[in-house]
A and B are shown apart, each in its own frame.
Chain A
Amino acid sequence: MAILEEPIKGVPTAKNYINGEWTESKGEMIDVVNPATSEVIGKVGISTKEEIDSAVAAATEAFHDWRRTPAVTRCRYLFRFLHLLEENFEDLSRVQTQEHGKTIDESRGETRRGIENVEVACGIPTLMMGDTSEDIASGIDEYLIRVPLGVFGVIGPFNFPFMIPLWSAPYAVATGNTVVIKPSSEVPFSQTRITELAEEAGFPPGVWNMVHGGRTVVNGMLDHPGISGITFVGSSPVMRDVIYPGCGKTGKRCIAQGGAANILVIMPDCNVEATIPGLMTSFFGNAGQRCLAGQTLIMVGDDDRFYNSFVEKVTERAKAITIGYGLDESVQMGPVRDAGKKEKILGHIESAIKEGVKLRLDGRKPGKIVGGYPDRCFLGPTIMEGLHRQMRAVREEIFGPTMGILRTKTLEEAIEICNESPYHNGHAIFTSNGKHARHFQYDVISGNVGINIGIVAPMAFFPFSGMAGSFMGILHTQGKEAVRFFTESKVCIHRWL
């Protein structure tokens, strides 16, 4: 198949967008590398503390007028933004593939999911409505107004460079706040394209800001007294040790979404033919770099014949996965984001082998890479058998195209393993038995629960949930919970004499 046209041409520099102006960062410039081709496709600056301070100052100044702009008017900016996102749907999708490596199908899915959040935020005049009670005592009325708080920081991860900042930013600006977005410096161009469209949509200067960079920008956001709250998606250690305590220290609101090591439970009564494609996409889609990716497959029951037949089918299907550059439409799995991440995944596989697992399918060296690209960031799918519940490969996040299989005799034992995991993001069960499904849903500790669904990604009008080691905070991104997060409840009690 031919490669779809690449949207990022030449070697552009991803600039900051502060107070309605595009400026090149004063910090160190680093390369942005396409992980499939290993080509440098752009540069991005690691912005300085002064640059983040300047963005927060612009956002603070813009907040005064933006908060006073009627919600319906704010919505019209969002509707224009939405229209531009739709108009540029394909270009935005290809940017993600070019800078991140995911397949074009996955990028288009990500684009759709991002846009859906803008669509939901367009309903803010209704979503933001408060509550009223007449005569709470004779002649006294009480009502609640949801008011914006000020400036919010949005810190995005590398694995969904387009969608994840849109879990927050549209709701923040729709509710009358202003934002400073920090994309991952590994994949800065998706947010740059979004910000260009936000500019074209006409948001007043200072309402929508973007600062590229790394730790300096993150710490600058955390320490800044002018930022009211932060949304973060990234690794659990950063969530736990940096973001959450940092927000606590300065009294910021916080939504912190971390890692995962999701478990998919297979009951012998599942619909095998329908389940296997779902497992492929869950474990190997996005090269396993999803916080909702399956990592461990628990096969329930002691029927060896079912086990062997099922695992054989899974292995055959995984073996046939086409690997290559995601802009080739025939490719089913792209590379991981960079060579360092590949090494880390390989380390997990090696460690599991030392602990005694057997490789049913060895993806450490990818087979054929369509297009003959260098294998620097490519891995094949790996299937490991013989895991037990205490192994690192079950308990630690691998974030790569691996499937570790372990067996339990009962569903109860499988649920126990899910619940003793340090992560509780998106566990799932595959079964055709409603009782098993309900038992799992009821007893499993997981922010998102799948029943015959391998990627338990909530729609924009539901919160992207997450529990325990996968999440810190109270409210979640997306939908009504995001609206609550980005507003404070102001309660008014009136008596007129």
Chain B
Amino acid sequence: MKLCTASETISFIRGLEEKAAAFYESLAGRFPAKKDIFLGFANENVKYVKQVRMAYQSVITDAIEGCFAFDLNPDDFAFETDLPPDASLAQAAAKALEVEDAILSCYSKGAEQSGALLADVPRNFKMIVKKRQNRLEVLRSMK
């Protein structure tokens, strides 16, 4: 089942971000030395959900024309967050990069598909992709 409407796309993205936030919270518990970094990521995820929601509900086009704006396959952005109990920080970082890759891909593809019809949602998707680049650098440095 593809994601076609803005409403379900944004709900789907919320699900991705929340799952990722829960993953980062678990990493914060496992790796106390990096606790602040991982909790920071989790908080950012919550803010991104809010940012997208506000964009969607703030500009008429993004809601009223949203029914025909997307054609996303949710399976393309699926990710797992399971780690072995004895996983090292490097393994955790590698898993986090997979998570980020899936989420960034969803935002990028969503922005590309909806750019001609919607206004603020694709713009915010792109902003989030840009903002997350720092996170990728931090995660890569842990590997």
| Residues of A bordering B, CB below 8 Å | 1, 89, 103-106, 108-110, 112-113, 116, 271, 273-274, 277-278, 280-281, 285, 317, 321-322, 329-333, 454-455, 457, 459
Please give me the residue from chain B that is nearest to A274 by CB atom: B116
Q: A278-B65, A281-B65, A455-B64 are in contact. Are A108 and B5 (CB under 8 A)?
A: no
A354 to chain B, nearest CB (A): 31
Q: Which of B63, B69, B117 contacts A108 (CB 8 A)?
A: B63
**CB–CB A281/B64 < 8 A:** yes
Q: Tell me if B4 counts as interface (CB < 8 A to partner A).
A: yes
- Further pairs besides A103-B7, A110-B64, A285-B64: 18, Cβ < 8 Å: A1-B8, A103-B67, A105-B6, A106-B64, A108-B64, A113-B64, A271-B116, A273-B116, A277-B65, A277-B69, A278-B65, A280-B67, A281-B67, A321-B68, A329-B7, A329-B8, A330-B1, A331-B67
* A467 to B11 Cα, complex, angstroms: 40
Q: Tell me if B91 counts as interface (CB < 8 A to partner A).
A: no
Q: Tell me if B41 counts as interface (CB < 8 A to partner A).
A: no
B11, B63, B117 interface centre (most CB from chain A within 10 Å): B63
Q: Tell me if B88 counts as interface (CB < 8 A to partner A).
A: no
* A421 to B88 Cα, complex, angstroms: 72
Please give me the residue from chain A that is nearest to B7 by CB atom: A329
Q: Tell me if B57 counts as interface (CB < 8 A to partner A).
A: yes
Q: Tell me if B56 counts as interface (CB < 8 A to partner A).
A: yes
Q: Which of A331, A457, A459 contacts B5 (CB 8 A)?
A: A331
**Cβ contacts under 8 Å, B110 to chain A:** none
A-B contact pairs, 12 of them (CB 8 A): A105-B66, A108-B56, A108-B57, A109-B65, A110-B64, A116-B60, A281-B65, A281-B117, A321-B68, A332-B67, A333-B67, A459-B60
Q: Tell me if B58 counts as interface (CB < 8 A to partner A).
A: yes
**CB–CB A330/B5 < 8 A:** yes
**Cβ contacts under 8 Å, B7 to chain A:** 103-105, 108, 329
Please give me the residue from chain B that is nearest to A278 by CB atom: B117
* A440 to B5 Cα, complex, angstroms: 31
**CB–CB B68/A281 < 8 A:** yes
**Cβ contacts under 8 Å, A455 to chain B:** 64-65
* A41 to B61 Cα, complex, angstroms: 29
**CB–CB B116/A105 < 8 A:** no
- Give the number of chain B interface residues (Cβ < 8 Å): 24
Contact indicator per residue, chain B 34-68, by CB within 8 Å of chain A (1) or not (0):
00000000000000000000001111111111111
| Residues of B bordering A, CB below 8 Å | 1, 3-8, 11, 56-69, 116-117
Q: Which of B1, B3, B59, B64 contacts A105 (CB 8 A)?
A: B64
**Cβ contacts under 8 Å, A105 to chain B:** 5-7, 63-64, 66-67
**Cβ contacts under 8 Å, B11 to chain A:** 329
Please give me the residue from chain A that is nearest to B65 by CB atom: A281
Q: Which of B6, B8, B60, B66 contacts A457 (CB 8 A)?
A: B60
**Cβ contacts under 8 Å, B67 to chain A:** 103, 105-106, 280-281, 285, 331-333
**Cβ contacts under 8 Å, A280 to chain B:** 67-68
A111 to chain B, nearest CB (A): 8
A52 to chain B, nearest CB (A): 33
Nearest 9 pairs of A and B residues by beta carbon: A109-B64, A274-B116, A109-B63, A329-B8, A280-B68, A108-B63, A105-B66, A329-B7, A332-B67
**CB–CB A112/B57 < 8 A:** yes
B120 to chain A, nearest CB (A): 11
**Cβ contacts under 8 Å, B69 to chain A:** 277
* A89 to B66 Cα, complex, angstroms: 17
* A385 to B31 Cα, complex, angstroms: 65
**CB–CB A113/B68 < 8 A:** no
A448 to chain B, nearest CB (A): 14
